[in-house]
Structures are given as C-alpha cells and as structure tokens.
Structure 1
C-alpha cells in the first residue's frame, strides 16, 4: 500500500540576480513565509537574497516540483508590505526598468537585514599625543565629535586604517560598544507652537484635516519664496505624529539638509532621521531598521528614501518639488516627485508637493483639479518680494576682462558700506570652463568625455565635471611645450570671486558650490558665518538658489542669465525661470527691501521679461502653449533610448539597428539615431533616439516590444529614459 505524498508548497521569489530575476523554490516544513518576506535561497553553490512574491503577479519559468530546492532562511525583518510591492511593480513597469533593480532600492542596507545586536565604534579620547605625525594631526582635526568604525573614520579623515589603529593603540581613540537598534529620541508634535499668518493657518488646517482623515490627496503647495511653506506643512507633520504615523520628507540636495534640520528641531525638539548616500553604514543600518519597524517617526532624505519599507506611513512631502535633481539619470531612471505621488496613492495617504516655482506638469494637474492647489501668495511677516531689474550687457558692458556690469558693482559697494550682504549667482563651478594655449590654440579636453576640462584654481587642478577625471595644471603646454602660455576662457564662480576681491578689497567673500560645501559640517559653518554677518558677498552656483534665509542679504546679482538657455534642453526656458526666480527669492527676506539685477544679452527673451515683470502666470501660459503645440509633456510624452559602447562602431551599428526597426505607429514619432550631445561619456561612445508620443499611447509596451525583438553585442548597453530631463 503506497503512502500519500504531501503537496509541495511552491514559493515564487524575486531573486537578487539580474540575469535570473524570478525563480521558484520549495517552502520547507515549519518555515513561516509571507508575501514580502525577505529570504535566503540557494543558487548553485551560492546563497542569494530573494523576496517572496505573489506567483500570479510574476511570470516565471515552470520547474518540476521534484527539482525545487528549499528556501534556506527567513531574515529577521518585517515583510515588504503589499503597498510597497505594488510601488516596485509600478516603477519597474512605468520606467521600463528591471523589477529586481527597483526592489534593491527597498533593501538598501544589507547589514540591516541580519537583525540588531551591537557593534564596536571608535571616538577620540581627548588624550594629548606624545608624538604627532602629520597623518595623526590631520585625523585629530577631522574626527572631532565623530564616531564610527575604523573604516568610516579613515574615510572621514582621509588617512589609512593603519594610522587609526595606531592611534587606538596609543590611546588616542577608544572603542565604544554601540546598540545597533538604539531608539531615536521622540519628536514632539507640540514642542513649539509656531506663529503663523492667516494664510498659513488656513493652509495648515487643510493639511491637518487631510492627515487626520487619511486617504490619498495630492496637494500642490504653491507659495512665493519666503512665504513660510515649511512651517505650514510642518503642521501636517505634527498631526501625523499625534496619530502615531510616519512621515517622509524628500529634499533635492543634501546641502539643504542642515538648514532644514535646524528648523525641524526648533519645531519638534529633536532632529529628524536622515537618509542619503553619505550616511555611514552603521547609520544606514540603524535608520533602515527603525523605518521598517515603524519606530522612525520623520525621515528626511534624498530621492532614495522613497523606496524604504515604512511600516505606518501617514504623510509624504516633496520640498522644492520642481527640482531636476529628483530625476535619477542612471540605473533606474525614475522621477522621485512623480513616484512619491504614486506611493501616496498606494499607501492611501496625503502627499504635498511644495515649491515657489512648480513644474509645469504639476501646474497642469492642479488646473485639471487632479492636484488640490494651496496658495501662499505673500511673504511671511510683511516682507516684500524684491525689485527685479535687467542689465542689458550689450549696452551696460563690463570693463574689458571683467564679468560684472558697473551698475552691479556699484550696488554691491553700496551694500558693503551699509553692512548688508550680496549674492552673485553663476551656475558654473571652478575658475573657467575652458583653458587653452595662447601660442598654439591647444584646448584641454577630458580623455573620457566630450567635455572641456574645467580649471579649479583653489585646488590647482583641471577637472571633468562628468566623469571626475583630474590632472594638475601643467606648467607648459602639452602640445607645443611653451611655458606660461595657458589662458582661462570664460568665468566660473572662482573667477567671479577673484573679480569681487579686486573690485571690493575689503569684502569678505564665500564661494558656495558642491566643491566647497561637501559635508554637513561645511554647510553649518557657512550658514553660521552668513547669519553672524561674517560674510559680505556670497558667490555661488545653484546650491544657493533655495533653502537659505539670510535677513541681511538684500542684493542678488545673476551674472549670466543666458547660460541655462544654451544647448538643446527642451525644458530650458522653464528651468531657467525656476532657477533665477529661486535665487532672486534669497533677497529681502527680512525687514530690509531686496533688489535683483539680472545680467543678460537677450533682455527680450520670454523668460527674462517674465522675471523682470514678475508675471509668472504669463510665462507659464506661454510655455504651456508652446508645449501643447509641440506635443511635449504634459500634453504628449517623451522617451529617450541611449545606446552606448566602448567601441564607437559597435554603438553606432546598434543605434542604427534600433532606428531601422522603429515601429511605424501613428501615435509615435521617432527622431534619430544621432550622436548624443555628450558623444563620449566615461569612456563610452553614445547615440540617442528621442520618441515623441501621444498622451494616450501605450509607450512602454511599444518600447519593450520594439527593443525586446533585437539582440545586441555584449559590450552594448541600451537604456530607456521615460520622461527624460537630461538630453546630453
């Protein structure tokens, strides 16, 4: 008599192997598995991570039950929720990305998956060293107030791990046993009640009611610079805290974090929990686990924070929601602003998009009633918007060899005499964008990219801002050997700072770029100096266009308003308007009136006239009409196909194969292939195709069927960029 055989429980896993993606396994007896469980499974002789997924939602290769291998282990973390799994699926589908690549962003701290426990970190003891080498001296300076693993501290101090181990042996560093899951201090929703204007109170009530009642409601918080948008949505954050719900606040730049943290702590008594790429591994592990277990109350982070496994999400805020940096341009090419709205929909919670210069797509959704628009048209405390004037460089030209018009210099001098501050904006890092030999005309170009090397005089280097290639500034021309022959062409912020130092020798100048504000400590020092009046003139890139509030800053000078209008960027007008309007908003935020001077050679351009007149609606209306006629977003859809290879002929051949098999669909117009504007990037030759499709077109399906029918050599990469923002 034969024995009855118990049925095999087949488990479908999304496995973290890009080539395989989906595999079936067997559930061992006694192992508790749920959808979303993070597990370890065998793959040949190795072990890999996987997530238990609904079989009906993932197509996989059918394997006989007798060949199924058992799942080995369930990791001690909460399962990914159904809402997060749906978000992962949606993102992969919409942006034509591998599902596993999106899922990887949810499990972005591998150390956190193994549970809590303790770890050993190190900190300075304060002991006086008997012998001080240059490396130890540098480490002592860099590690004041820091704590971390030997590896993390070595990176912070830019010394070898051996130096720090020697310091530990000498008693200069001491080990500290740290609980990996130690709780964060609780944020207090009623710690400090803010003073709000009537307009702010009305907006705050709207957000509080939405959080209290729950449900998906997308808001566009449209407020002029200085109107107190942050204080307004903080009331929605407070209501989420009262209801024991988690909050996610997305910021576009880490450099904005310091100012935000201070304002948050003043309101809620403690800083929020941070999430960005510069966190130490131990900080990421602690934050991830607190988020997954619902113990992290408010998370402030860059776009990657969007995919973390929040246990009880109650509100999402996207601050400076117009910012281009919310769009990721490699890997999974998603726009965090748009995905935040989708996550809020899946989680059934409100989402607030806050901006003084909303994206045209957001404005259109508000006009259509899909987003609920909340307006703050006035600055807080009676402060007035600055007066804006245009300096036509064709008639008010700077002196020979200079870049600042006489009128701008005159106004800066007046501010210096009155003890007020000025800000000069030029979105170009370094000293000069091009260096050439005056003898033979040789130009310094990056060997890996179609880009000139930018001179940085602070560091005496020539650098590529696309791949990071750097070389020292040579003493002779590498082409003709002539000494002392190099000429800097055009201005960067360092050159503008030099010009200010010559024209205003008594002025105290700060250069603010991603090169100089490359850590939270550097940002904190800059903010403290500016607030204390220790800086007279700030010279900066787009890093200074948002988030800062300096009451004594009364003059903003835009050095080259035409810079953003150059090149083939299809959103150039909108982006230029947003950038200049944001930097103009730094002026006159206190009791003193502000003034903005815009230098341009095209004062008749629509974006310049709109800035000068303050007529934002007219600019948006003209831009909207142009987009409608061109079938551009939000009235049509764009997608880009980027083909690259280390072999130029191979890249060109693959691009032509794609172009030659383009579907002749009436809903799609295919342009290209053509060499990309950045035809060589990080050593890879690049070609692009641009697709313009009707709004109703099934664009993703067309693209996947089109490209899925083709095969490419191993060295060729083909990337799809849905809703592209970069056209290089």
Structure 2
C-alpha cells in the first residue's frame, strides 16, 4: 500500500533540486505541481523558515522526504550561461554554491513584491503634464505608494511596458587615434585597452557601448569604487537619455527593487556598478567593461573571496560576449595573459586633444630634509604658492585618512590601540576628536591625558593624514581654498558630487585626498600634483607592493595637465634612486614592468605561479592554534612544485575580535590547486567555533 502511494505521488509530482542562499555546498530536493525549468525562482520551506532559491536540476529521482514548493515566481528565469558561470565560480574560488546564490538573489522583500505594472482606471482629472521619470522611479519603489495605487482602482497588467529606445543627446566625436583603436576590437574577445592617463579610454568604450546597444544588448560597466559611479553616470547620460542606471550596495531597498526588475526585464541598457553588480541576472547581456582593471579594490576581502575582474572575464567567456579591460597601468596578470595571446591588446600612446603627460620631479628627502613637525617640503611649498598665483589648482596626495596614524605618550610609551584588532587607532579631528579603528570601526574619545600613566602633558600624534596636511597647508597658504577628499568626509554620493562640482567650478584651489582622487577624475584646471610620502608602500611584505605603488603614483600624477595646461608632479621620497622612481621620472614604465616580471618569474610568483591561502579564525586563540596544528598534521603528500608555508599567526591577529592563523600555498601555474586543497580540508572535521576561509589567488596578506 505504501509503495503504491509513493508511485502515485511520484507520478503526480515533479522532483527538483533547489540551490538556496545558505553557506552550504549542496542543493535540496523539493516537489513541484508542474514541470519547472532550470533557473526559475521558487519559494520553499527550509527548517522553521522559508527561503527563495534557484531551481538547479529538474530531472531528479523520487525522494520520499521532499516537501512541496510554496510559490513559483511568476516572471523570473535566470539565463543558463549565468548558472554555468556561478557553478564554475564556486568551483574555482572554493566557495559554497549557497554563498554565491545569496549574492545573486535580492532581498526577500524584492522577490515578494507583486511584480508587474499598473495603470489607473479612474476617470478623475489629471494633469496633462507627464510626471518626470525619476519621480516615477522614486514612487513605484515604495510599498506605501503601491498600496495607495491599489486603493485608487489600479489594474494589474502582466505584460511589460514597452520603453522607447534611448535618444542620443549629442554625437560622440573620436580623434583619429581613438578611431583606429576602436576599429581593432574583435568580437567575443577579452581585450585589454591600455592607454596613458587622459587618452580617452572612456570615450572609446562608450563608442563600443553604442555598438552593443544597437544590437539590443545590455552592457555591464564595473568600477573599483562606488565614488566613481556618478561620474560615469553623468558621462553616459550625456549620450544616452535614460536607460543608464547605477547598482551598488549603497542603494536603498526601494531603489534596488525597481532597478532589479528593470535590469532583469532588459529595460536598462547600461548598468554601472561596483563588485556586486557582477552577480546581477541580465536579460540580454552583450558586453562587460572593467574600468581600472588593475585596481586591488576588485578583490573581495570577506567571504565569498573572489576577484571581480577575473570573474568578469569568466562570465563573459560563458556568455560568449566580449569583455573590455581598461587601464593606464595594467596588472602584471593581465599583461601576462596578453603575452600568452589569451587577451587582445590595444594600446593608445597619446593623450586626448594633444594634452601632454606631466613632468615628474623627485624631491629627495635626504637633500631636502623635513623640519620637525613639517610634512610639506620647502620646494613643494614654493610650487603650491606659484600654482595658486597662476589661478590654477593643485592636488596633494596623502595615503592616510584622519589626522595622524598613532597616539603616543612620550613618558610611558602608551600607544592608542584597538581592543578588537592588533592595530593602532587613527587620530581624527574632523568631524569630532576621536580615535578610530579603520578595520572594525571601533572608536573612542581622544584622551587629553595618558590613560596609563596620567601624564598631563599633551600626547604625541605620530604620522600625517589628510587632516594634518590640511592644517599645515593652511598655515603657509591661509588664503587658499582647501577641500579634503576621503571616505570620512565624503559620506555619500551627494557630498561627493557637491565636492567635485566645487572643484570644477574653481571654488577649490588645493585638493587634499587619499586614493579616491587617484582614479578617473578629470579636473581641467589641475596642473600641480604633490605626493607627500611617495615611498609609502615599498616596505610592505607583499609581492605586489612595488607594482601597486607604481600604479597609484602613475594614476595620481596623471590627474595633472589633462587639457591645455602643462602639468607637473612632485614626489617626496627618501628613496629617489630606486628604479621605480627613476622609471616614473623618465616616463619609462615599460622598463620597470619588465624588471618586475623577471623577478616574479625567478621566484615563481604570480603570474608565473599560483598562490592560495587558508585563514583560520575564531576564539579562543588556543583553539584556533590547536586546529591549525591538527590540520598541519593531516597535510597530504605534496605534489611536485607545491609548497605549504605555515601555520603562522596572521599579521593582523586578532582582527574584529577573532584570532587568526594562516597557511600560504604556492604551486605551478597550471596545477589544479583547488582540488588538492579541497581533499586536504575534508580530511578533518572543523570545530563549529572556527571559520575556515580559502582564498585562491590572494591579493592581501594581512
């Protein structure tokens, strides 16, 4: 009788597996009253709660304990190439599939939204003037508005509203060298567009976008920083009226609800976003652009650990669409792929509208020593004064937020440290006097006396951040109008936009900023660049330290002289004879790149070898250390060329109150290191109080 019942149930039900947004590398079996397709979105019971998930398999054998799906989403269906990409991404990064599903699926509130479009049946008089589109966007993304519309006799329509194609506001005129670069593009290729700062790479990529749009396809533009989104949005809105949207983690739920629907239904043609935009499901994706492809911000530091540039290339490959990588200072990994003929390479060696690269001068701190308490040398002070007199703008680059890097008691050697992380607290004076940890966010009031010894004399503040440099510049140029650019002063898109407008309207004489100013910005009157500590990164224990420093310095100096005004850059350094600075001074970057490549090849470092790291974290410290030693004892035999270093305490230990130990694994370039690591980790059961993060191709070693 029971077997007969099971057979009847099997005939009446359709068994499927569903990938759910939980940190597990498995799918779960459910029943559906009708056949479903892979990629459909369903709501299912999961323990005491309900979750939305993605139908992963449809040809599934009978499973006795399978529960029925609760709801089938009426319109969402994910592209098959996108699902294959997610599967490969999970395999490559050793990330549980469920963690990636959590990236893809929006908040439950968005999926619960009654998808469709609504029209008014009322015969009441209405204004003949159309409501501006942004007002509709703001209104329709709110549940209160939806409820109000229902009360006013709104009728539901399942078919999508047809939106007219974007209108081109003005034509884009490329210079001859830009046209030649554009004509070299190959369809369905991974292409590196390398051009010096100010060469018009954005304009060329915009022309590429127009070509894709004419074929009724969508374009995804990835940016390393949210701060750059508004600038790209303004640039593209100039040529495409509407149909350009921004997607990043800073959007409100109302905005995400509306944008997610419009992107999935193909009603947005150009989508500009940060890392998270890579996980969006598109209807007709035709091109992926990765701006500033070399930027380390594309690397995700928290699980899931992945590099957005590499995953963009992977997604483009599965979708069989082109991927365009933009950079003035390409990463060595990308240049290696060019050498191996994996990527097409288009190089632009002149600036837009005949502008010239800035002259780069080295201020040797051994010959021009700083006076105590001073961070801006006398030669740089003189240049800033001259630039101000000419009515032009200057930029001072400081690679440190806040006022100072350390609070120190001269008597007992007290140092302001974070109770949650093994780092010193940064001194901030603006907007209020505080000590702040830039890793966990801990803050405390700035003490007037030493908390340890009670010494009533002022505590010493070591190092210099943007606030300190602003104070110093004000002391010798009190008439100058200064503006600080850092994540502390630019809290949101509106404040950033207001600051950029003040610069463009020449309401600012000197910009003082962190790496926010190194990327993508165009200031016509900016002619002078000053780098306060040009050698700040060379002492870091990082295989990419020199590469990153050259990229940052070249990008920052490239902000000057982008139009008719000749630019100059002044680098303060105690290592003026270093090959990196000599290459920058003589504009011979290729020589530095070749030398760096040779060193990487000699030591089998990326891109000529592979790296992977395993980070164990938890509490108490003894338990984490014990598990690390236990994992070491279960280390399998090492394949040829594979080496395991550690376990060793991580440089930041603890971090956010979690103690951390790590292994570093090196291997030959083409060895399947993921498979070997997976087998090793599976040999031992991990305690529940310890987290194990695997980072394939790590970029940070803290």
Same-fold call, TM > 0.5?
yes
Partner of 2:65: 67
The corresponding residue for 2:349 is 377
1:95 matched to 2:93? The reply is: yes
Maintained 8 Å contact 2:27/2:56: no
Which runs of structure 2 are paired with 1:574-585 in the superposition (5 Å)?
Answer: 574-585=547-558
Partner of 1:491: 464
Give the structure 1 partner of residue 387 of structure 2: 415
Structure 1 residue 710 displacement after superposition: 1.1
Aligned to 2:523: 550
Is the 8 Å Cα contact of residues 519 and 555 (structure 2) preserved in structure 1?
Answer: yes
Moved more, 285-294 or 197-206: 197-206
In the TM superposition, residue 287 of structure 1 has moved relative to its aligned partner by 0.9
**Is the Cα–Cα contact under 8 Å of residues 138 and 255 in structure 2 kept in the other structure?**
no
> Structure 1 residues 613 and 660 mapped into 2: Cα distance closer, same or farther (>3 Å)?
farther
**Deviation digits for residues 152-174 of structure 1 (CA, Å, limit 9, x no counterpart):** 99xxxxxxxxxxxxxx9xxxx9x
Q: 1:21 aligns with which of 13, 26, 42?
A: 26
2:681 corresponds in structure 1 to 707
Q: Quote the Cα distance in structure 2 between the aligned partners of 1:386 and 1:467.
A: 39
Q: Partner of 2:612: helix, strand, or coil?
A: strand
Deviations for 1:488-531, whole angstroms, at most 9, x for unmatched residues? 10111110111100011111111110111221111111111111
Tell me the residue number matched to 1:193.
171
The answer to whether the Cα contact below 8 Å between 2:20 and 2:102 also exists between their aligned partners in 1 is no
Confirm or deny that 1:677 pairs with 2:654. Answer: no
Is residue 633 from structure 1 mapped to residue 606 from structure 2 by the alignment? yes
Aligned-pair CA distance for 1:19: 4.8
Aligned to 1:476: 449
1:464 Cα offset (Å): 0.3
Q: CA deviation at 1:147?
A: 9.6
> Equivalents in 1 of 2:184, 2:73: separation in Å?
41
- Separation (CA, whole Å) in 2 of partners of 1:234 and 1:186: 20
SS of structure 2 residue aligned to 1:78 = strand
Helix, strand or coil at the partner of 2:361: strand
More displaced 10-residue stretch of structure 1: 6-15 or 637-646: 6-15
Shift, 1:89, TM fit: 0.5
TM-score, normalization by structure 2: 0.91
Distance 1:577 1:152, change over 3 A: farther
Deviation at 1:50, TM superposition (A): 2.3
Residue of structure 2 in register with 1:116 after alignment: 115
Structure 1 residue 78 displacement after superposition? 2.1
**1:610 aligned residue:** 583
1:258 corresponds to 2:230: yes
CA gap of 1:176–1:584, structure 2 versus 1, over 3 A, is: farther
2:545 is aligned, of 564, 572, 588, to 572
Show the counterpart of 2:121.
none
Residue number in structure 2 paired with 1:647: 620
Q: Give the 5 Å matches for 1:159-198.
A: 188=166, 190-198=168-176
Checking the alignment, whether the CA contact within 8 Å between 2:362 and 2:570 is kept in structure 1 is yes
**Distance apart, 1:375 and its partner CA:** 1.2
1:318 paired with 2:296, answer: no
Matched, 1:466 2:439: yes
Q: 1:406 to 1:45 in 2, by over 3 A?
A: closer
For structure 1, the 5+ residue unaligned runs are: 57-61, 120-144, 154-167
Which digits, 9 at most, give the CA deviation of each residue in 1:158-208, with x for residues without a partner?
A: xxxxxxxxxx9xxxx9x986999997976636432122111111222344x
1:455 maps to 2:438: no
Encode CA deviations 1:523-545: one digit per residue, 9 max, x unaligned: 11111111111111111000000
Change (3 A) 1:365 1:670: same
Is the contact made by 2:15 and 2:58 (CA closer than 8 Å) also made in structure 1? no
User: Residue 33 in 1 paired to residue 36 in 2?
Assistant: yes
1:662, 1:670 within 8 Å by CA — same for their partners in 2? no
* Residue 599 (structure 1) aligns with: 572
List aligned pairs for 1:264-413, cutoff 5 A. Answer: 264-270=236-242, 272-413=244-385
- Aligned mates of 1:555, 1:377 — CA distance in 2: 22
**CA drift at 1:486:** 1.3
Q: 1:200 to 1:185 in 2, by over 3 A?
A: farther
Q: Is the 8 A contact 1:109 1:288 kept in 2?
A: no
Moved more, 36-45 or 697-706: 36-45
The whole-number CA distance in structure 2 between the counterparts of 1:15 and 1:368 is 39
**Deviation, structure 1 residue 81:** 1.3
**Which of residues 431, 449, 465 is equivalent to 2:403?**
431
What is the CA-CA distance between 1:266 and the residue it aligns to?
1.3
In 2, distance between residues paired with 1:200 and 1:188?
24
CA distance in 1, matches of 2:238, 2:288: 21
Distance 2:340 2:639 in 1: 29
SS at match of 1:681: coil
Report the RMSD for the aligned CA atoms in angstroms. 2.8
- Residue 534 (structure 2) pairs with residue 535 (structure 1): no
Show structure 2 runs of 5+ residues with no match. Answer: 119-134
Contact 1:221 1:375 (C-alpha < 8 Å) held by counterparts: yes
TM-aligned CA distance change 1:456 to 1:152, over 3 Å: farther
In 2, Cα distance between equivalents of 1:176 and 1:527: 39
What do residues 294-325 of structure 1 show as CA deviations (whole Å, max 9, x unaligned)?
22211000111111110101111001111101
| Matching residue within 31, 38, 46 for 1:43 | 46
> For each residue in 1:455-475, what CA deviation from the matched residue of structure 2 results, as whole angstroms up to 9, or x when unmatched?
011121110000000011122
State the distance in 1 between where 2:75 and 2:694 align.
Answer: 33
**Offset, 1:482:** 2.5
Contact 1:189 1:242 in 2 (8 A): no
1:326-364 CA-partner distances (Å, limit 9, x unpaired): 110111111010110111111111110001101111111
Task: Indicate yes or no: 2:692 matched with 1:694.
Answer: no
**CA 1:77–1:565 in 2, change beyond 3 Å: closer, same or farther?**
farther
C-alpha distance in structure 1 between counterparts of 2:477 and 2:278, whole Å:
46
Count of residue pairs brought into register by the alignment: 673
Cα distance change of structure 1 residues 581 and 574 upon mapping to structure 2, 3 Å threshold: same
CA deviations over 1:10-48 (Å, ceiling 9, x no partner): 2122133335831112222xx341111111122344322
Decide which moves more: 319-328 or 665-674: 665-674
Displacement of 1:439: 2.9
The structure-2 alpha-carbon separation of the partners of 1:44 and 1:411, relative to structure 1 and needing over 3 Å to count, comes to closer
Q: What are the Cα deviations for residues 676-698 of structure 1, in whole angstroms up to 9, with x where unaligned?
A: 11111000111111111011211
1:272·1:299 contact (CA, 8 Å) conserved in 2?
Answer: yes
Partner Cα separation in structure 2 for residue 687 and residue 177 of structure 1: 56
CA distance in 2, matches of 1:19, 1:697: 26
Query: Does the 8 Å contact 1:437/1:486 carry over to 2?
Result: yes
Is residue 262–residue 271 contact of structure 1 (8 Å, CA) maintained in 2?
Answer: no
- Contact in 1 for aligned 2:524/2:562 (Cα 8 Å): yes
* TM-fit CA distance, 1:64: 5.7
Q: Structure 2: how far apart are the matches of 1:300 and 1:100?
A: 25
| Contact kept in structure 2, 1:35 and 1:54, CA below 8 Å | yes
Work out whether residues 187 and 268 of structure 1, in 8 Å CA contact, stay in contact via their aligned partners in 2: no
CA distance in structure 2 between the partners assigned to 1:445 and 1:394 by the alignment: 32
SS at match of 1:65: coil
